[in-house]
Homo-oligomer: A and B are copies of this chain.
Amino acid sequence: MIKQKNEFEIISDFFSPLARDKGSFGLSDDVAALSLEKDYEFIVSTDMLVSGVHFFSSDKPEDVASKCIRVNISDIISKGGIPKYYFLSIALPKEIDDKWLRSFTKSLGIEQKNFDIFLMGGDTVSTSGPLIVNIVCIGVVKNNHLIRRNGARPGDDIYVTGEIGSAKIGLEICKKNITVNSNLENYFIKKYRLPKPKKQLGPKLINIATSSIDISDGLISDLNHICLASNVKAEINYYLLPITDYVSELRIDENELKNILLNGGDDYEILFTANSENSSKIIDLSKSLKVDITKIGVIVDGEGIVVLNNESEKMDLILDGYKHR
């Protein structure tokens, strides 16, 4: 019989080595202690991910670890914060073994280096249901410099980083709803599995962006969050949306593609608004940080979102994102 490790052994063998900030006390006390530099505040985000809902139960442990960390710090980064600490609670089904935990925590260690963050605490429990990972990420931002959802003003430009739609295409490939050759498959699936939070850019958007959000639910849905919070309307040009050239190699019809670009989620790109005075600063940032930033529209008076074609005509689209109101 293989001896199952108990909670204490799992923590000491796999998680304690990740707790290298002194305030975590090596996970050997009941709480973690966090101090804060003068003139800064903490910002906190939380995401709970369920196997079979937020990732596939067949996903590799290292990919699950990366995704859980990245979707969470994406929130901190997109609001102008610098991620510092995370707390991880995990509900483990019986079939999770030491090998799985070793790969999972090894990947957490790599992500800690990638993003300069430390594990500070958490909990390990067993469950009869699916694997569930809850992460709380804590970052810092200068007092009152957090980029909120509610600062978009008429006249502001609307920007998005990277490319959109690719993660959703990857998800549909995983679900066998889209078939492509294996090179493209890898490209899109990686976009779905491994979002890339723009850690250099986020904090630099302070004093430039008037509002921001990361795209998790889909472009329209998340833009709608900004419009509602800011009490403004967004006009975006469909043909300005940044997409990869590989999209042209997919056999999907135009309507399906529109739906993917506008309503697909999981991009974890930064969607932000900025006064047009700042457009050259944004171009400079894009160049110096090597992050694609694309202007996709403008904020106007009113409410809701319209999607325009190149002739500035309103396109006839089903904007699923609204269902989330």
Residue numbers of A with Cβ under 8 A of B are 6-8, 25, 28-36, 38, 41-50, 52-54, 75-76, 78-79, 81, 87, 89-91, 93, 120-130, 132, 134, 136, 139, 141, 143, 146, 148-150, 213-214, 229, 323-325
A132 CA / B125 CA spacing, docked (Å):
10
Leading 5 A-B pairs by shortest Cβ distance: A129-B129, A48-B89, A48-B123, A134-B134, A31-B43
| Residue from B46, B75, B129, B325 in contact with A127 in the complex, judged by beta carbons closer than 8 Å | B129
List the B residue with the shortest CB-CB distance to A129.
Answer: B129
Q: Which residues of B are found within 8 Å of A31, using beta-carbon distances? A: 43-45, 75-76, 79, 81, 139, 146
A125 CA / B71 CA spacing, docked (Å):
15
Q: How many copies does the complex hold?
A: 2
With A29-B229, A46-B123, A128-B129 given, can you name 5 additional A-B contacts, CB distance below 8 Å? Answer: A31-B139, A33-B44, A93-B129, A128-B130, A136-B136
Interface contact A33-B146, CB-CB below 8 Å: yes
Interface contact A127-B130, CB-CB below 8 Å: yes
Instruction: Decide yes or no: A87 and B50 within 8 Å by CB, A75-B30, A149-B28 being known contacts.
Output: no
Report the minimal beta-carbon distance from A274 to chain B, rounded to whole angstroms.
Answer: 18
Report the minimal beta-carbon distance from A262 to chain B, rounded to whole angstroms.
Answer: 18
| Residue from B33, B46, B50, B122 in contact with A91 in the complex, judged by beta carbons closer than 8 Å | B50
A139 CA / B32 CA spacing, docked (Å):
10
Instruction: Decide yes or no: A50 and B125 within 8 Å by CB, A28-B149, A35-B41, A81-B31 being known contacts.
Output: yes
A26 CA / B249 CA spacing, docked (Å):
44
A125 CA / B81 CA spacing, docked (Å):
25
Report the minimal beta-carbon distance from A283 to chain B, rounded to whole angstroms.
Answer: 26
Report the minimal beta-carbon distance from A270 to chain B, rounded to whole angstroms.
Answer: 11
A79 CA / B91 CA spacing, docked (Å):
26
Q: Which residues of B are found within 8 Å of A25, using beta-carbon distances? A: 148
Q: Which residues of B are found within 8 Å of A214, using beta-carbon distances? A: 30
